[in-house]
Amino acid sequence: MFDASLSFSNPIETFDLLNASEYKQLHQMIAKNTYDKTGVPNLIYNGTAYNDTYTDAVTGETRPMWGTTNTDWQEQVYKKNAPIQKYNLSMTGGNQKTNYSLSMNYSDVDGLIANDNQRRYGSRLTLDSDINEWMKIGSSLSVNATNNRRGASSPNRMLGARPDYPVYDEEGIHLKQPAPGFMSENQNGHLDYTKLAANPVAATLDENITKTTAIFGNGYLEIKPFKDFKLRSELNLSNFISDNNHFTPYVHQAQTERDILKKAVSIFSKSDSKNFNL
């Protein structure tokens, strides 16, 4: 018996986020209210006017305070019509003395966030046989494997990203954004951003890959030396293997003023574990 299915998934609901103009108005209001409450100039409002530029403490460059694009990060990160594939195959057979069954399955599920994916593989084989009137043997073996891949983007990251910044800069490189929570006072007494954070699209390029394989086996011998009396011996084994790989491209790494002279590198790490029981 064989069956297969193909379906598609989409986000049920997305948020109506601020555009660039609304984002600017909101943060100017916050900055002005903060000054009115504390009397201390801030990065956006200096006490008499709103600042149009700021000095990037990471690069030392003077940059516009506000961008001019309208980026909906949900549209950039969420997939449309993410496919879900499932396949199942099963068969049984035998004769008067021996019976067997075999089943196999495979699924390939794309997540709603770009580059997220899960694949599953499974199989199971069982066999039972009557050797003679007083002896019976049987065994079963199942193998299951998964391959999970995910990036580092998330709904929270999309909601917190600046809509006035584009996905890429003029050179086609993922544009990093000033991180609002990281500021310091410069030599002129003004606050500057001291950290650049990766945008949500760059975060999807992370590779967090987990591969697992689980093997379970069972075998038995059953003897019936005389009526209403049975002797049964069983052997069970299990083996679990896990392999984890993590890759963070440079475009997803946050950058601070201490990192500006560092060579652009990516981070890769790997770990694995195995467990065997008999």
pLDDT in single tens digits along all 278 residues of the chain: 999 999 999 998 888 989 999 999 988 998 899 889 888 888 888 889 998 887 776 667 788 889 889 999 999 999 999 999 999 999 999 888 899 999 999 999 999 998 899 999 999 999 999 988 889 999 999 999 999 998 877 888 888 889 999 999 888 888 888 766 545 554 444 455 556 778 899 888 888 888 889 999 989 999 988 888 888 888 888 888 888 888 877 777 766 544 543 444 455 555 555 554 44
| Cα gap 168→204, rounded to integer Å | 14
Q: Indicate the domain borders of the chain.
A: 11-82+109-277
pLDDT at position 262 is 43
| Cα gap 151→112, rounded to integer Å | 11
| Cα gap 179→256, rounded to integer Å | 10
The answer to whether 276 and 238 are in contact (CB under 8 A) is yes
The position carrying tokens 């199971």 is 124
The β-bridge relationship of strands 195-197 and 177-178 is antiparallel
- Name the residue among 166, 206, 146, 137 with its Cα closest to residue 68: 166
Collapse the DSSP code of 114 into the 3-class scheme (helix H, G, I; strand E, B; otherwise coil) and give the result.
coil
| Cα gap 252→270, rounded to integer Å | 18
End-to-end CA distance of the chain: 33
The secondary structure of 221-248 as a DSSP string is: EEEEEETTEEEEEEEEEEEEEEEEEEEE
The answer to whether 116 and 188 are in contact (CB under 8 A) is no
- Name the residue among 171, 165, 174, 180 with its Cα closest to residue 206: 174
And the tokens for 89? 């195959």
